[in-house]
Structures are given as C-alpha cells and as structure tokens.
Amino acid sequence: MAEPVTVYPGDRRFAYLALAPSVALVLMLIAVPTVAIFALAVQDVPLGRYSGDFVGLANFRRLFADADFYAALGNTFIWIGGSVGLEMLFGTGLALLLNQRFPLRWLARTILLAPYLLPTIVAVLVWRYMFDDIVGIVNHIAISAGLVARPIQWLTSPRVALLSVILIGVWKFTPFVVIAILGILQSIPGEQYDAAKLDGAGPVRRFVTITLPHILPVFVLTALLRTIWTAHKFDLIYLLTGGGPINATTTLPVLVYVRGFHDFDAGGASAIALVILLLIALLLVPYLLIHRWSEARQ
C-alpha cells in the first residue's frame, strides 16, 4: 500500500503560481471574448464605439426575422451534413484500404495524408485555379471527356458553389478521419483475425465481429469532432467564395463576419455568434457522453 503524500503549504502556493499563467491565458483568450459577445448581443453599438445602448433581446428578434439568417442556417446544416458524411465515408474506406499490405503503401499514405498538412490558403489557391471557368483543369477534363458541353462555373454558380466547397472541404479534412480510424485499426491484435479465420469466418463476418466493435467508438467521436469543427469553419469558405454567389455559400460563421465587418453591426454579429455557440454546446453533450462511454468500455 502506497504511503500518503504530505502536501506542504509552500508546495500548494508553488502549484498555484505555476498554474496562474495558464489560467490567465485561458481567461484572456476564452472567457473575456465570450463575456464580450454576451454583452454586445444585448446592445446597439454604433460604429467607432466599444459600447452602446442596452436593447435587450432586440438583436435576437431582428435576427429571427431575417431571411438571410435562415438561409445561412440552412447552408450551415448542408455544409456540415455533406462534409462530415463524405469525410467519414471516404476516411473509413481509405483507412481500411491503407491497413492492408501492398507495395508502396508508405507512398500511398503520404499522398493521401498530404492535403490535411497543406495550409488552407495554399489549398484555396490550388482549387480556385483548378475550378477556373477558362483555364481550370477540371473543366478541361470534363469537356474533353464529353461529360459537359460548356465550362461549369464551379465557384460562381449558385447551383453548384456550395457543392464545390463541400467537395474541397472533404478533400482537405478526410485525412484526419483516416488518421483516427487507421490508428485504431493498427491496434487490433492480429491473433483475433487468425482465430476468426480458423473458425471459418469470412471477410464480412470478421469485419462485423472484430473490426467494427473496435472502430465504432473512435468513429463516433471522430464524427462528432468533425461536426463541431465544421460548424464553425470560416476561412476555407470565405477564401473560396466570400459567401457568394448571392449568399449561396454563406454559413453562420461567414454571416457573423459579414454582419460585423461589412455591415458594422456588432450586436447582430454577436447574436449570430451566440447561436453558433449554442449549436456547438448541444453537439458537445453527445460527444462527452460517448467519450465517457468509450473510456468505461476500455
């Protein structure tokens, strides 16, 4: 039995002093901006001032009567559902593939994981060039193959702009899913598969009885994490389209920027930010529950 550890007052003071910089940094970067958002959301702040007149819930009433807000909310759900759904589908499939032994597997892993390491601005420049109406390679290949008769306006057409942004996001962030799923796949003991083969289990049965139970907790946690991160993603969308054309790709984070820095409506922007905060908080509840279940299961 371990001996009890005596904690002296001096040790406790040192611990508090050691934690103080981290606590101060958290308060400065998280708590203070959050309180400021709450304060701005109930004020009418004129341009050039740091505070304004208290208006209560007027900013929220104006927000919930705004058609642009509901359009951005719909785009946000489409952006989240399309991006996360395809990322999980392709990421899991690629992880299962990369877990197999084949020649130059290391090279395939490097190529598939490269997009996640690429800076967002570089990825945006590459895809804007590839999707260009005139010189873009995507339109050139599609026309040469006879798939389309005229160039598709991938990023400037309201019909396909959001789909194009989703596909670029999937290309950029699927490697994260691959890393998460591949890591758990490589931790599964090979003896379990050998024993299942001796019992006559085929590939499908081995996947259902061995692989799936191992990857399911990580799969769900990864999906929830990607949902939370995708919900407040701003830079990729704004750099690709600026929220256009005709607000076709305007999500809630983009609308916050437009309201705050284009319309100079700090109160309205803060109200939208609180809606995003509420959505993320609602997503955190199942994440924490599943995370606790996963730890208890292990």
Q: Where are the domains of the chain?
A: 63-297
Over the chain, what is the mean pLDDT?
87
Confidence class for position 293, pLDDT limits 50, 70, 90: confident
User: Quick one: average pLDDT of 40-61?
Assistant: 82
Average pLDDT over residues 149-153: 90
Contact 205, 226 (CB under 8 A): no
Bigger pLDDT: 52 vs 22? 22
Question: Which candidate, 246, 245, 254, places its Cα nearest to that of 154?
Answer: 245
For residue 50, what pLDDT band results from cuts at 50, 70 and 90? low
Q: What average pLDDT does this structure show over 274-279?
A: 91
| CA distances from residue 266 to 52, 69, 103 in whole angstroms, order as listed | 10, 15, 56
pLDDT at residue 295 tops 80? no
**CATH T-level assignment (fold) for domain 63-297:** MetI-like fold (1.10.3720)
Q: What is the pTM of this model?
A: 0.86
Q: What is the pLDDT of residue 1?
A: 45
The mean-pLDDT minimum among 76-85, 119-128, 152-161, 210-219 falls in 210-219
pLDDT at 7 > cutoff 70: no
Burial of 32 (0-12, 13-18, 19+ CB in 10 A): exposed
Residue range 200-235, pLDDT digits in tens = 878 888 888 888 888 888 898 899 899 999 998 999
Helix (H) or strand (E) holding 44: strand 43-44
The predicted structure's pLDDT at residue 66? 93
> Is the model more confident about 131 or about 283?
131
More confident residue, 285 or 97: 97
